Chain A
């Protein structure tokens, strides 16, 4: 059997890698590129994007290499119900959740304020004809939901956690970095990404040991070496919201000086998980 080999050259470099010489692969893109629908893409561009993405996945033939993260683990971990299930298994509290296309199943999730959280099952970037559109997490009243149309596509509906403070936890192997996300010293209602950037403050915190351990356990349970976890602190309870195996982290290095970049680099250099 011929062993896998990756070789190539550029203007001023060349490489020839085998299972013995290739140590780590940093794969931080979502498994599927999501913009090949773009009407401005030529057939050649569409072909390039699909086939190079497949080429990257083909690198899984290097089965002894240290991946951050492995495409298979990324694919599974991106499934929201699955990550909620695993989070609950490792001991996290999660919001009451229904995945449905029927508004009739939702009212029981509503708590004090008569509102619910409605979000996509998978990130949705839409072509509306004239513009692009992105679907954030939405806070919706029971009455609005009851009057809406869901039948054509399922959604995730969750109880509203209010008031809350969002916490972004970045896990690299066993190292855990956590920051609170606030505005004017307060938690941000709804999807904090909709808030003007200059109003948001990120502050590093130490998580309670139990919460920290659950973050580590979850990342390990999902076979990830890297995970960007969203938690919500609501009435002194830490809720797991979601984990993104390809989540952003560079902005945290810049705003809080947390050495996430060095931790990722060290992991790749060492070429092994913990």
Chain B
């Protein structure tokens, strides 16, 4: 039986992609190009709310190593 390539045997499998959900209580303002906290109309990235979503990747493709940093 042919062997699998070493990198395939070492690959880290995972069950599925983490779906990115819209931040709760926010809307995306295309004109301002950013997520806005609906209640305060402030930029989400500037919000001091401790419960705000942690910064996450904006890249479309999922690289599990990259995307799990800090999350």
Q: Which residues of A contact B (CB under 8 A)?
A: 10-13, 28-30, 33-35, 49, 118, 120, 123-126, 128, 131-136, 138, 140, 145, 148-150, 152-153, 155, 191, 193-194, 197, 202, 246-248, 250-255, 261
- Determine whether the beta carbon of B10 is less than 8 Å from that of A28: no
What B residues does A193 contact at CB under 8 A?
65-66, 68-69
Contacts A133-B8, A251-B71 supplied; 10 other A-B pairs, CB < 8 Å: A13-B31, A35-B62, A49-B60, A125-B61, A132-B17, A132-B62, A135-B8, A149-B5, A251-B54, A255-B70
Name the distance in Å between A168's Cβ and chain B's nearest Cβ: 9
Which of B8, B15, B65 interacts with A131 by CB under 8 Å?
A: B15
What B residues does A246 contact at CB under 8 A?
59
Total contacts A to B, CB within 8 angstroms? 120
- Determine whether the beta carbon of B61 is less than 8 Å from that of A135: no
Residue-by-residue, is B5-38 near A (CB-CB < 8 Å gives 1, otherwise 0)? 1111111111111000000000000110000000
Which of A33, A128, A149 interacts with B6 by CB under 8 Å?
A: A149
Closest to A250 in B: B55
In the bound complex, how far is the Cα of B15 from the Cα of A198, in angstroms? 21
Closest to B11 in A: A133
Interface assignment of B47: CB less than 8 Å from any CB of chain A: no
Name the distance in Å between A160's Cβ and chain B's nearest Cβ: 15
Name the distance in Å between A172's Cβ and chain B's nearest Cβ: 16
Closest to B56 in A: A250
Complex A-B: 14 CB contacts under 8 Å: A10-B30, A10-B31, A12-B30, A29-B60, A34-B63, A125-B63, A149-B5, A153-B5, A155-B7, A193-B66, A197-B68, A197-B69, A202-B70, A248-B69
- Given A28-B58, A197-B70, A254-B55: A124 and B11 interface contact (C-beta under 8 Å): yes
What A residues does B12 contact at CB under 8 A?
133-136, 194
Pick the 4 closest A-B CB pairs, nearest first: A251-B70, A250-B55, A133-B11, A149-B3
- Determine whether the beta carbon of B7 is less than 8 Å from that of A118: yes
What A residues does B62 contact at CB under 8 A?
35, 125, 132
- Determine whether the beta carbon of A128 is less than 8 Å from that of B13: yes
- Determine whether the beta carbon of A35 is less than 8 Å from that of B61: yes
Name the distance in Å between B19's Cβ and chain A's nearest Cβ: 13
Question: Which residue, B7, B14, B55, B62, has most C-beta atoms of chain A within 10 A?
Answer: B7
- Given A34-B61, A136-B65: A153 and B7 interface contact (C-beta under 8 Å): yes
Name the distance in Å between A177's Cβ and chain B's nearest Cβ: 14
What A residues does B67 contact at CB under 8 A?
248
Name the distance in Å between B5's Cβ and chain A's nearest Cβ: 5
Closest to A11 in B: B30
Name the distance in Å between A129's Cβ and chain B's nearest Cβ: 10
Closest to B33 in A: A13
- Determine whether the beta carbon of A135 is less than 8 Å from that of B55: no
- Determine whether the beta carbon of B65 is less than 8 Å from that of A134: yes
